[in-house]
Amino acid sequence: MSDPLDDNDFAGDRDYLESFGETLAQTLDLERWADGFDVEAILRAFREHIGGAMRKEDVLRATVREKLLPLLKTGPHAPKGAGVYHATEAQLRAVLDGYLFRGNVEAVNGRAVSHDTLALGITQLGIAAVGYGGSSGTFSQRLFRKEVTFQMDDPFKQARDYIEQRETRSRKAPRNKDSLSRLATRGIRTYAERAILVERLQAEWRIGLGNPLPYELVTGSGYRGLLEASIQMLTNLVDRQQKFVFVTERLEHRGFLTLGHSLDTGEYAILETLEAYGQEILDGWRYDEEGLRMATAFVRKYCPQVVMGLYRASNNSPPRLFYAHQEHVHFAVRIAMADSILRPEQGFPMLLDVAAMTCHSVFGEDGFQGLVQDAYAQADLSLQYLNVRKMRR
């Protein structure tokens, strides 16, 4: 299993040909590139490819619904209660009125913004917790990365060491994101979202984003401190909290999402526990042996207690992957579905979006960069260390 903090591995020429219908050499041949920007030709190509793809998906959907969905109950990793279920309108309305609108459900979402120059790196982490009764609070942390200290007993040696240190980091960190920056923006943020969900919220039910037992926390991203804190916190999540549901927003597990497209409005499927996922983490372990021992004990005990499933809030929205504790999975998915039907065109829990918008408002890029620029202006009028250009992505 590859580290999700890294970019995707190169797939190879054969996969490229199968995916795009042409060889990489053909794509790189500039003679085949169009001159200028022909809007009509582009729209014609878009209509042709989108229409063809949708017709193929419709045929696939019918086959999956008829032949494959019934097999979920007997799959190799099928947990207790695996299969397809239907949440009625009355059930979802009861969840809305009895839980969501009464403030008995809260959601957590986070945001990370960074500033990086030669002299200093700053990462701001912001987490928002919200319910329909109002905001439960915002939490923030700011990390300052700096290599230069003022204890220069041997200025020449330290200057040489700083140059080597910075160059080594640059070579190992494509796109100007070294491992420490990625730890801050992904590992610590992911930890903080779940820790606040477990330790700071008061609502009976909690909603989070992504996999509740993410790779970067189960492995600690190679940092013992993060691993130890994560295992303790995730143990509390699964053991004590239990009443949680996590929903993904990315196109993860495309095979499962293909099953999800065969679901009708109000249907949900329970697929499997996280046992196989946890075993993949252990099989691909590339950190220290003591960390592996800790992770193995956690995976063996807690991954079987968390199940993964799919739901579809509306035929006009995509299916969503969700994760919940096995003992509460049916009510958990109804929580997610009830919050998702408030915007049927999205089919995604609105509380997670409200939390994201709160983070954007309080901890957004513009406000953060404005404060940074003001501090630089007061420290050095020449702004020689302030990188004002946006890097191309």
- 87-142 pLDDT, tens digit per residue, is 999 999 999 999 999 999 999 998 888 777 666 777 788 888 999 986 567 766 65
- The C-alpha angle with vertex 388 and arms to 386 and 391, in degrees rounded to 5, equals 120
Domain match, 313 and 338 both: yes
Please give the Cα distance from 387 to 257 (Å, whole number).
41
Is residue 359 domain-resident? yes
Please give the Cα distance from 358 to 328 (Å, whole number).
29
Q: What is the pLDDT of residue 223?
A: 87
Q: What is the pLDDT of residue 359?
A: 84
Contacts of 340 (CB under 8 A, 6+ apart): 311, 313, 314, 317, 320, 346, 347, 348, 349, 350
Q: Which domain holds residue 293?
A: 76-147+178-379
Q: Which of 74, 98, 117 is the last residue of a domain?
A: 74
> Residues in the chain with pLDDT < 50?
1-9, 147-150, 174-178
Q: What is the pLDDT of residue 149?
A: 46
Q: What is the pLDDT of residue 312?
A: 94
Q: What is the pLDDT of residue 177?
A: 45
What total of structural domains would you count in the chain? 2
Q: What is the pLDDT of residue 377?
A: 74
CATH number for 257: 3.30.2170
Domain match, 298 and 319 both: yes
Domain match, 196 and 67 both: no
Domain match, 46 and 102 both: no
Contacts of 234 (CB under 8 A, 6+ apart): 194, 212, 213, 217, 218, 298, 302
Q: What is the pLDDT of residue 4?
A: 44
Domain match, 126 and 101 both: yes
Please give the Cα distance from 285 to 302 (Å, whole number).
18
Q: pTM value? A: 0.80
pLDDT in tens, 328-339: 999 999 999 999
